[in-house]
Amino acid sequence: MSKIYIFGIGGTGARVIRSLTMLLASGVQLGNDFDRVIPVMIDPDKSNGDLTRTVTLLKTYKSIHDQLKFGKYSKSEFFRTAIDDQNTNFKMQVADVADKDFQTYIKYLNLDHRNKALVSLLFSKKNLEAHMNVGFKGNPNMGSVVLNNFSTDSENDLGAILESFQPGDRIFIISSIFGGTGAAGFPLLLKTLRQAQSSQLPSASFVANAPIGAITVLPYFGVMHDEESEINMDSFMSKAKAALSYYRDNLHTDALYYISDKLTMNYENHEGDSAQRNKAHFVEMVAALSVIDFCQSNIQHDGNKVYKEFGINENKQTLTIRNLADSTKALIQKPLISMFVFEKFYHDHLADTWNHAWAKDFSYADNGKMEASVLTHDFFVKLTKFLKDFECEWLREMEDNNRSFRPFNLDASDDQLFTSIDGFEPKKAGILSKLTGRNLNGFGAIDNAVADVSNELHKKLPMYDYFMDVHWQAIQKVLKNKFGI
């Protein structure tokens, strides 16, 4: 099996990786050839709120996955894909810009008169005096200088990350085109990777000739006007056009994805640091799907370039699963519904089930009895946190954004559980279903399915795998019975 190395540049890169993490947790699969994701975020703004939130989520996912065995009897697809940090803490430092302004970084004061004059033509006084501890504040001309420091030599961060690169592995780059960090970092990173063969890296030839895909995220949100801020949304489109013109002639990707949206929300104008923590957005979820598409497509590094865009069936301000194209629905509807149902069951009903047979009849030598006290185990602490983030942050933030993505009624009660999935109508119960109790609604239907699948399963799986599998299999039975999926 192969690995996919994902480089997320800037705030947009971090947010797209966050959405990808949620999709993988739900059970969206990379494809038959890939079983491991290596996400690496590149951002000089070390305290960026989007960056730190994504790093925390990735660590939580990794801890959950690593405590599961996924043996031959396990069918659960929750958290199945491995995420590896390659001992990087999911971040890569390109240049040390902490507590430095741009002119100090480029040693402007040491230049002779003629070179100072040239630099002054290229960079404004505001650029030269700008501190870079929160990034490049929408200035790709600054970013292109600072980020021109990638290296695949084995002693550098990028070289260490790619040291175990093997034939069959792929690379994917995520960046926005209308800011500073992403627009500048993408072409520079790509150039470095394509020229890796000139480095001392043992895997250099594999890297240089690997299939490389990327998504360029065009404007999909705005920022409020602020006289004190260097970020001005009026320049977003002109920056995007200028970058696209350069990309057309100078990028050597094997697959390039584009996405944008005209329906936008204006966020508060934060230049960086912990305050830059944007709401999750539908565009970011779709951008994450480009990684899945790249892994599932037969793309080679053979000189043939593939270009892809994304479309929806209905252009509405609030989207649900039914508004998506058939290929998108086939990819995400079952995993997202499964995770939504599991999250609702876990937070709203699990406490009432510890005295049911699936739990009370079983115990494990290493972990003790299957009872409420196991929720203090590190595995369940992490799982509880992740599921809360899935609903209370990711899904709700996408619902509250513009364009809105609202696949579920997140406030549905127990008896509304299966009518809260927009675009899906539960099947009417037949006579046999009524006689056998298969027409149960809400959590009762899941309880009934858990009882069906638990009898032999506990003998085949360790405790944590058993917990995940018994609920995953039960939810699949219910979804097939209720919706035929």
* Domain membership flag for residue 421: yes
The residue segments making up the domain with residue 376 are 329-483
- pLDDT value at position 250? 79
DSSP state of 110: G
- pLDDT value at position 424? 86
> Does residue 124 sit in the same domain as residue 160?
no
> Does residue 278 sit in the same domain as residue 334?
no
Helical segments of 251-323, H only: 282-296
- pLDDT value at position 283? 95
- pLDDT value at position 443? 94
Backbone angles phi, psi at 307, to 5 degrees: -120, 135
DSSP state of 234: G
List CB contacts of 66: < 8 A, sequence separation 6 or more: none
State both tokens at 133: 């501890």
**What long-range pairs does 225-232 form, CB within 8 A, spacing at least 24?**
225/269, 226/269, 229/137, 229/269, 229/271, 230/126, 230/130, 230/137, 230/138, 230/139, 230/271, 231/137, 231/138, 231/269, 231/271, 232/138
DSSP state of 117: H
Handedness of CA 332, 335, 341, 347 (dihedral sign): negative
Spatial CA neighbour of 174 closest among 81, 42, 295: 42
Q: Which helix (H) or strand (E) holds 92?
A: none
> Does residue 305 sit in the same domain as residue 338?
no
Q: What's the number of domains the chain is made of?
A: 3
Spatial CA neighbour of 442 closest among 412, 401, 464: 412
The answer to whether the bond into 403 is cis (omega within 30° of 0) is yes
Spatial CA neighbour of 14 closest among 39, 38, 46, 41: 41
> Does residue 378 sit in the same domain as residue 353?
yes
Residue stretches of the chain with pLDDT short of 50: 226, 229, 269-273, 431-432, 434-437
- Region of 386 please: left (phi>0), alpha (psi -120 to 50) or beta: alpha
Pair 415, 294: CB distance under 8 Å = no
The pLDDT tens digits of the residues spanning 15-26 come to: 999 999 999 999
State both tokens at 257: 């994805």
> Does residue 61 sit in the same domain as residue 173?
yes
> Does residue 468 sit in the same domain as residue 344?
yes
> Does residue 84 sit in the same domain as residue 13?
yes
* Domain membership flag for residue 102: no
DSSP state of 324: B
> Does residue 47 sit in the same domain as residue 89?
yes
Q: Which residue has the tokens 């057309």?
A: 248
> Does residue 292 sit in the same domain as residue 394?
no
CA distances from 236 to 26, 136, 231 (A): 33, 14, 9
- pLDDT value at position 432? 47
* Domain membership flag for residue 467: yes
- Residue 143, classified by CB atoms within 10 Å of its CB into exposed (0-12), middle (13-18) or buried (19+), is buried
> Does residue 56 sit in the same domain as residue 124?
no
- With b for 16 or more beta-carbon neighbours within 10 A and e for fewer, the 265-286 pattern comes to bebebbbbeeebbbbbbbbbbb
Rounded-to-integer distance, Cα 287 and Cα 284, Å = 5
Backbone angles phi, psi at 408, to 5 degrees: -135, 155
> Does residue 221 sit in the same domain as residue 273?
yes
List CB contacts of 112: < 8 A, sequence separation 6 or more: none
Beta strand 170-176 with 82-83 is unpaired
Beta strand 306-308 with 368-369 is unpaired
* Domain membership flag for residue 317: no
* CATH code of the domain containing 279: 3.40.50.1440
State both tokens at 203: 């895997």
- pLDDT value at position 101? 75
* Domain membership flag for residue 64: yes
* Domain membership flag for residue 238: yes
* Domain membership flag for residue 323: no
Helix (H/G/I), strand (E/B), else coil: 419? helix
Rounded-to-integer distance, Cα 333 and Cα 302, Å = 34
Pair 300, 228: CB distance under 8 Å = no
> Does residue 333 sit in the same domain as residue 426?
yes
